[in-house]
A and B are shown apart, each in its own frame.
Chain A
């Protein structure tokens, strides 16, 4: 067996692979497939909401769409996409030959597709798919749930196992496999954000597993965790869910912060400003995420002291998040900026994520939240941070590293078109949702009163544009892979820093079998 053997042939390459690049590729393609599926559900939602009145689907099916859209996007699209990115990039960024636990790596990917297949199959079951929202509040998700809820619980368990295995792998890799001289404070910020994210995942996925297990017990084994009639409490569910759920949203956004912290310096041709403070800010956000969960529950009737505690703690998150935004902007200040597609998506991220941050701050104010809670204002807020935050940065990452992955360059003009269509479509879709939310439109309703009609139509048109722009993305990626111009140099972007740019393009199947020497002077990217 030679040191530089290539991949196996045929299906077994993918089924049996323990190579971090292959597994990363599978994660990325899987998450894109889920992104399209979750997007299709969103298109059904927006088509029904195009006009007042019920036109296309029944209210019950509408709820199945909102539920599956949320679940598939959060657990199927965004999370696995960043795990895929971590698989591809972390070993190459820290000078490791592969992930620390390659066989587990294979397993953590391969249990995902069956789990989502099972989740999607609930659509065809009697009683329909879960229709209780991606937050699945009891007792709507227990006593009043369709029978398919049991399959939903099983699917959640499996993808939780997958996430925990993936996280353990990342922690083990970062802690043990860094090249000599790659100290923690020299690691690229993407590695840092993922290390912190992995700890969050290991901490909270078991809590989610606990929540769904209690549901399972309530449904099938006669317990009453979430039923007041048996001495339980429906609000307990919300506490347990959001103890998972709030860290979960940072699990989604922290790796996105990492990506942006790689790309903005590269296209500013200037080192990242405030590297250490970025690390501390990320850690602070992660720690705060454990003590703010009940800001999702301001209206459940908590005692006023609890309400105040969660309000103050939530407001504090604005501080480290603000530090991050200030650092990115200062990185750009007096740089030499250019605006290739990855940078465009990062700037889109910066503007729109900041807007989402502002609405987040507004939502943290408990008395004002009595008016915002469960309206489209919240929907607008979390799409600004989830889509313009996580998805935009993920898209930026794909354009930034695809030459390294494939050895071929994407079409810059097509990339820019993709950006502008996405950016405009996104804003037409989600900006008006702030207005209807403030004006009083509740979320998760299949039909609405007439005063919301114009903005909803606008929102639907924007959503169709944004949805179509993702097909453009798919086209760009495929054209790059099959017909993109071959790149000659290792370092594609003149301002880019980091070990991944020291290996050839495309990155060989095995990299850093001999650990690289880390230059004492060249710190992090």
Chain B
């Protein structure tokens, strides 16, 4: 298979012109980009590629001519020339002129990338170890915020389940944006530096804790666009993908409205007591999304401590809540109080206290979480 792929890559790169390069499986060129800026960047990339290719062919042609015709075994007598100021000046100036030719389109594209004016929608993107938080900023302060976690299961990653089509590239809750609308991204991070990249949108911006970077996009076609974190951000750097759904304006408005009512419902739910089964079921879902990467699918531990049989999960509820809500300073255990809803926090604490043979029988209600947060 490998030699076939090598051969295919060679043949394709030699014979086929740029625009038809993209292969579904073994793509060998940059994504063309669905946005205007993406297309410009792709054009720039191909322009410079071809300039390099032409120079490369010329330079290597001269070199291989020498290798073939100026070899000692042909009995040639070596020339002894070794200097020419004229030639040196020529091959200093010509490359310089070529560079100016590259710099002009590069500059105009760069200015376009930096033009974040007149955006209709602002989305605050915050990088966390190892997930993204998207917050849709609202002028009235009615923001919608949610976390976007890796949807690929630990079983797929550790090869016990078959890997799905979007292995490592799908999330539980994607970012949703309307098409034909200029969307501005405000990019920052909560802990270490991350970088938010979606190749087909040609947007890559570092997410730096304490600083806010800007980027923008305007997607003309509906679709799902995927990307990944591109700045090393710790152990699970490879496991925090990005999924952007570009939808029609109507669909977007409906989605946002649904998100708002979900928020209201959550606040209401936090007032109610839930049944054990219900808490365990949603607790398991939360555990798989938020906890299992570090604490193990069966609570056996990993980067984080084991949950099964742990002193915290078997000890006082208040201490357990404290760790879940505030995290453990100086370790990878983050403060989840601001990341999970009170209902989800109650569910996952209940789940941890009753799963993996921890059978404490404790039920933690959303109200307990609220009370704990209020001290």
Query: CB within 8 Å of B: which residues of A?
Result: 52-55, 58-60, 63, 131-133, 137, 139-140, 143-144, 227-229, 233-235, 268-277, 299-301, 304, 307-308, 311-312, 315-316, 318-319, 322-323, 325-326, 329-339, 347, 350-351, 354-355, 358, 361-362, 365-368, 370-371, 373-375, 428, 431-432, 434-435, 438-440, 442-451, 454-455, 457-458, 461, 495
Contacts and interface: CB of A to CB of B under 8 A. Distances in A.
Contact of A447 (B96, B209, B239): B239
Contacts of A330: 87
B63 interface: yes
A243 B358 CA distance: 53
Contact of B95 (A234, A272, A322, A371): A322
Given A301-B187, A337-B71, A375-B230, 13 more contacts: A144-B192, A233-B211, A235-B211, A300-B208, A301-B213, A316-B99, A336-B76, A337-B70, A337-B72, A370-B113, A371-B202, A438-B27, A439-B30
Contacts of A347: 63, 67
Interface stretch (B117-125, B132-140, B160-168, B250-258): B160-168
B206 interface: yes
7 contacts: A53-B163, A270-B78, A316-B99, A347-B67, A440-B199, A454-B5, A458-B6
A45 to B, nearest CB: 13
Contacts of B92: 319, 323
Interface string B187-214: 1000111010101001111101111011
A60 B303 CA distance: 8
Given A315-B99, A319-B95, A351-B60, A301 B205 contact: yes
List the 3 shortest-distance A-B pairs measured between CB atoms, nearest first. Answer: A228-B210, A445-B238, A301-B213
Contacts of A434: 28
B91 A323 contact: yes
Interface stretch (B42-50, B274-282, B311-319): B42-50
B273 interface: no
A133 B114 contact: no
Interface in B148-162: 156-159
A457 B231 CA distance: 23
What interface size band does chain B fall in? 35 or more
Contacts of B59: 325-326, 329, 354
A153 B129 CA distance: 24
B238 A274 contact: no
Contacts of A308: 107, 110
Nearest to A276: B83
A442 B205 contact: no
A304 B88 CA distance: 34
Contacts of B2: 454, 457-458, 461
Contact of A53 (B6, B158, B165): B158
Contacts of B114: 304, 307
B56 A358 contact: yes
B333 interface: no
Interface of B: 1-2, 5-6, 9, 24-31, 40-41, 44-45, 48-49, 52, 55-56, 59-60, 62-63, 66-67, 70-73, 76-84, 87-88, 91-92, 95-96, 99, 102-103, 106-107, 109-114, 129, 156-159, 163, 165-169, 187, 191-193, 195, 197, 199, 202-206, 208-211, 213-214, 227-239, 302-303, 332
Given A63-B232, A447-B168, A458-B6, A435 B27 contact: yes
B180 to A, nearest CB: 22
Contact of B106 (A272, A355, A366): A366
A227 to B, nearest CB: 7
A145 to B, nearest CB: 10
Contacts of B129: 144
Where chain A touches its partner, the secondary structure class is helix
B45 A368 contact: yes
A323 B159 CA distance: 51
A268 B193 contact: no
A361 B52 contact: yes
Nearest to B67: A337
Contacts of B80: 270-271
Contacts of A495: 78
B92 to A, nearest CB: 6
Given A304-B110, A444-B237, A272 B99 contact: no
A361 B45 CA distance: 11
Contact of A275 (B5, B83, B102, B211): B83
A63 B234 CA distance: 8
A220 to B, nearest CB: 13
Given A268-B78, A458-B6, A229 B210 contact: yes
A234 to B, nearest CB: 6
B190 to A, nearest CB: 11
Nearest to B107: A308
Contacts of B229: 442
A439 B71 CA distance: 41
A335 B233 CA distance: 52
B41 A235 contact: no
B70 A333 contact: yes
B158 A435 contact: no
A330 B27 CA distance: 37
Nearest to B73: A338
Contact of A365 (B29, B48, B159): B48
Given A60-B303, A270-B82, A338-B71, A439 B102 contact: no
A332 B70 CA distance: 8
A448 B168 CA distance: 7
Nearest to A457: B2
B303 to A, nearest CB: 6
B77 A53 contact: no
Contacts of A137: 192-193, 231-232
